[in-house]
A and B are shown apart, each in its own frame.
Chain A
């Protein structure tokens, strides 16, 4: 158990819909990262937050948005969903952020299926 909690574990929805994925980081971790993993693909970096502020941005679509709340949990909002958005979405957390950061602790992921 990494200590990172993601909900929901599975989500099935239709094209055009909007979903929210939630992540609770490990106790004491200030940074939250979101990664997308499509079938048989690698881990694509979406976005990182540190203590409530956006720290780094990857190739995140404009239809996607995220935020980190004062209690440090984070939400990833995906809207106007397309078939190609079907993927496993991982949240990870770390104590700090930036290039001096040590290991990332990953949650078990939220599997999104868009029909």
Chain B
């Protein structure tokens, strides 16, 4: 079945450093979504990318969707302590109606 992997599993950065998480799917995705889950919280939607090669920015966050629509990345510039949490990508693969979540990347930010 469809698998969505993310690397790294965990990253610890100093406040002000940049951070990137990568998302790779075993199948072509019709779109990709990104969610953030704060510790003890529930996933919250960040963004959706639909087009091949699409790049979107939200303040310090930059999201990319790969040309082959099988991978995506989230880059955070100059991390802040408020960025702490687990970042998940999620996508619909092929003809499936299942929104499959990636394995997630836990970001820790040291002040």
- A contact residues vs B (CB 8 Å cutoff): 2, 33, 35, 42-45, 48, 55-58, 90, 92, 97-99, 101-109
A-B CB contact pairs (8 Å), 14 listed: A35-B101, A43-B101, A43-B104, A45-B100, A55-B97, A90-B42, A90-B43, A97-B97, A99-B30, A99-B31, A99-B97, A104-B35, A106-B44, A108-B41
- B contact residues vs A (CB 8 Å cutoff): 30-31, 33, 35, 41-45, 48, 88, 90, 92, 96-104
Q: How far is the CA of A107 from the CA of B42 in the complex (A)?
A: 7
Contact A33 B99 (CB under 8 A): yes
Interface centre among A42, A55, A92, A104 (most CB of B within 10 A): A42
Contact A105 B98 (CB under 8 A): no
Contact A103 B97 (CB under 8 A): no
Chain B residues near A103: list those with CB within 8 A: 33, 45, 48
